[in-house]
Amino acid sequence: MIYKNYRRLLIFIFSALLGLLSSLTMPAWSNFSSLHANAASPLELAREGEQRYNAGELEAAAKLWEAAAEAYEKVGDRDGMTKSLINKSQALQDLGLYPKACNTLLQAFAIQNPNCSQIQIEQLQKNLAQKSDSLSLTQAIGLHSLGDVLRRQGLLQKSQEILQLSLSSIGESAEKSGVLVSLGNTERILGNQIRDRWDYDVVTDIIDRKSVVDALGPYNQAVNYYIQATKVASAPPIPKIQAQLNQFQLLLEMKRWWSEQTQRRIASWARFSESKLIQRGKDFLSGLELQLSQDAQALQNQILPNLATLAPSRAAIYAQINFADSLMQSGQINQVEPLLENALQQSRTLQSRRTETYALGYLGKLYDKQGQLNRAIKLTQQALILAQEQDISGDAREITYLWQSQLGSLLRKQGDPKGAIAAYTAAFNILQSLRSDLNANNQDVQFDFLQEVKPVYLELADLLLKSNLTDKELNSLMVSNSIINREKSENKNSQKRLELARQVIESLQLAELDNFFQDPCSETANVALQIDNIDANAAVIYPIVLPERLEVILSVPGKPLQQVVVPISEQEVNETLDRLYDNLDNLSINNSARNILSTSNPNPQELKENLQTLLPIFGEVYNWLIKPFEAELDPKQIKNLVFVLNGRLQRVPIAALYDGQNYLIEKYGIALVPSLQLLAPQQLEKKQLKVLAAGVSEQIKVQGQFFAALVNVPKELDQIQQTFPASEKLLNQEFTIKTIQKQLKSNFPVIHLATHGLFSSNPQKNFIITGDGQSISINELSALLKEPGTTIELLVLSACETATGDERAVLGLAGMAVRSGARSTLATLWPVGDASTAQFMGQFYEDLKKPEAKQADALRKAQLSLLESLKLNPPFEELQNLPPHPYYWASYVLVGNWQ
């Protein structure tokens, strides 16, 4: 048998989920040369595996390479075995089986009992780093593949480090370009994380300074790697064009994101006639778009001729589809059809079913954009059938999901709501099944949440809420985890429809929480919980913001679900909530309450005008969420209102909703929950209740930053100890990570932390300060509170605040509590003076002590005590005849279990 002395070109697999081409180096060899005369059998297995892989038969390829690896091992050919295992791992990656792919790679590196744990990865990294100068090309390629797997599992830092090690040991071989593309892909996702965790003020500051450099900063390293990848002289054409395609798509994404963010700021500034800021925003955006457009056009001019030179292959097909999708995103649809038709033809010539389903699906997307609905539907259905044919063991769910979702959208446009509901339900069920995979740390199925996942939930809820499906049609939907209480109403059909919609919204909340933390941070109840099962004196309100209307579902114990339609568009809702934020807490607006009250000598007239502006806005939100249900919310039965909020509603201080005479807190207790399914509903055990109360009262310097003294903290902690004598107090230097850890062994059900801290979407910005000048990150705090044997019922974060303008920070609070095992969290949306905090907390714990008091009751009474004292002693004479300003008292929120 003649062995050809060449290496196979790199194989690149399209990732529709991340919008990237993921550079992969497998199968790495068509030449399995061996010193052993009896090695023909393993060689034949390896080559047949390659043939099956090239034909798109991935499972068969993986099994053949596994058999080849075993055969090579028997004849003592370690190199042949390693190559076969690396190739097997590639097939597993393509199937989406990333944990298995990772274990296979560790096996290739001779790791015993591989389980892809962080310890094993770090040990391998340490061992290979010590001999990086002498690593073989086989090992370098194995590291490249491992770096790709780790990225898909969300382990971005490790992916980056492993790929750097691969790069340093791969030399100037043809594979260097592929490693650089992979590094670019990892850096791009790291850049997304940095950008998405900027709070409102950081983005505003970049726009205000017109700093294009800072705006593009998170992606500098990704762009550098992509550019380097195109300059590797020995590289084949595919990795070079892959780098160009990924960079092109990144430029388009940055342009879209910054346009949305800048237009939002300009709208805020326009409300306050901030002409200078408006002009700065426009200047920033025009400068940034000019630079990005020029760079994108230059790349586009290179990509088109480069694509034309590629020989037909799966990699070339994916490259054409990737480019076609980018052109559609940039509005250049006139150039798309030839690319996709060519990709489809090549797929059929090569008999590649997977590439064919993508080509058909994206052609459907193109015809949708051109208004050719019938053609779009037909092609999407063909793509879906092909995807389902390949979904032998659930390994093509992500492809199936894409086309079910697209089909739902198309059928809705065509005026077939029943067909659209069926398609969206199928997509929804796939997303629910993929959520269970996330628990196995398979994070590549975390689609672009805002662009691809959230719309499926909202579209399905939208269609269900206005559908007139029959009983049989509703039963046939079989929504995941759907248990409907059929005895709840005489109008069973209507109740099923609303119950399904409610469950979809609950699932959206869970999906958003998973996406926020980049892992499923919570176990959920295995049934669809309803308020009847939790609290007979509470009602749950689900506001659902849809493009053309606001829907609100009310769940009251023992009564049918109720639905109200508010005829207001999503744009109007967001504009109203932005006005509320601008006037209340926006640091970039001079006359926001936060800026007025942060000065040493606040202007009473400005504060009065601010309150007179805010009250009608709080009234408007009250009219949306509460007024339609006033007759149902009898305060004699309903004591607490529980809100499941999403989007910009999450940063609204719900307690301050205003009916024209009273604030909502004056009628009901208020709690926020991300989802009823996350609750472990039970009332706080008051007998022998004790609190671990820790705080910092002195001015403290942490990492060069000074934090002001909180002089009322000792009083706050003393009050807690007087109320609950079994409590433990840790003040200033006594409050350290070690002392907290030691005290937690005594099992305190309530943890009270009175210190500086911040909660935001950015884990690096989430911290609390200890008395020895250290900062504890949220992850560290969560781990600390989750020590074996500890059960935290309530975590109180006094003096901490949630990040300004960060709509997902409250979600972070909820998730942090869930992750740490705390059933609920009490925190503030904005900074509160420590004198009023001490008063508030004293009252809160006094009421919490009462045998029948729920946490929401105690919170309500503490807020009412602040309200009453402000009514009796207003801070300024000008405010005498007005309700107390919400900024003084409405910041406190209870997230999670309210009982």
Candidates 580, 666, 685, 671; CA nearest to 897 is 671
- DSSP H helices, 709-827, are 713-723, 737-744, 778-785, 809-820
User: Are residues 739 and 763 both part of a single domain?
Assistant: yes
Tell me the CA distances in angstroms from 899 to 178, 700, 823, 825, one per residue in order. 55, 36, 10, 12
Mean per-residue pLDDT of the chain: 84
User: Are residues 519 and 612 both part of a single domain?
Assistant: yes
User: Are residues 708 and 655 both part of a single domain?
Assistant: no
User: Are residues 36 and 83 both part of a single domain?
Assistant: yes
* Domain presence at residue 464: no
pLDDT of residue 515: 61
User: Are residues 656 and 796 both part of a single domain?
Assistant: no
* Domain presence at residue 61: yes
User: Are residues 37 and 146 both part of a single domain?
Assistant: yes
- pLDDT higher than threshold 90 for residue 679: no
- C-beta separation of 120 from 155 below 8 A: no
Distance (Å, whole) CA 421 – CA 425:
6
- pLDDT higher than threshold 90 for residue 54: no
User: Are residues 10 and 134 both part of a single domain?
Assistant: yes
What does the CA dihedral 92, 97, 99, 102 come to, rounded to 10 degrees?
A: 20
* Domain presence at residue 672: yes
CATH of the domain at 796: 3.40.50.360
Q: Which strand (E) or helix (H) includes residue 102?
A: helix 98-108
Structure confidence by residue, pLDDT tens digits, 2-39? 222 222 222 222 222 222 333 333 455 444 444 333 44
792: left (phi over 0), alpha (psi -120 to 50) or beta: beta
* Terminal-residue alpha carbon distance, the chain: 76
* Domain presence at residue 120: yes
Distance (Å, whole) CA 209 – CA 37:
70
Q: What's the structural domain count of the chain?
A: 3
pLDDT of residue 535: 85
- pLDDT higher than threshold 90 for residue 58: no
Tokens representing 24 are 């992969």
Whole-number percent of the chain with pLDDT over 90: 51
User: Are residues 552 and 601 both part of a single domain?
Assistant: yes
Distance (Å, whole) CA 272 – CA 259:
20
User: Are residues 590 and 739 both part of a single domain?
Assistant: no
- 778-785 helix and 809-820 helix, angle to the nearest 10 degrees: 30
Q: What is the pTM of this model?
A: 0.82
Residue 304 φ/ψ, nearest 5 degrees:
-55, -55
User: Are residues 698 and 559 both part of a single domain?
Assistant: no
CATH of the domain at 54: 1.25.40.10
Distance (Å, whole) CA 432 – CA 16:
19
Domain that holds residue 518: 475-676
- C-beta separation of 264 from 281 below 8 A: no
- Furthest C-alpha separation in the chain: 99
pLDDT of residue 778: 72
User: Are residues 665 and 762 both part of a single domain?
Assistant: no
* Domain presence at residue 330: no
Structure confidence by residue, pLDDT tens digits, 429-470? 888 776 554 433 333 333 456 567 788 889 999 999 988 888
Distance (Å, whole) CA 178 – CA 241:
11
Distance (Å, whole) CA 432 – CA 401:
11
* Domain presence at residue 800: yes
E strand spans, 98-146: none
Candidates 126, 140, 148, 149; CA nearest to 172 is 140
Distance (Å, whole) CA 87 – CA 55:
15
pLDDT of residue 433: 75
pLDDT of residue 438: 40
Candidates 305, 288, 299, 306; CA nearest to 326 is 299
The residue that leads in pLDDT, 439 or 492, is 492
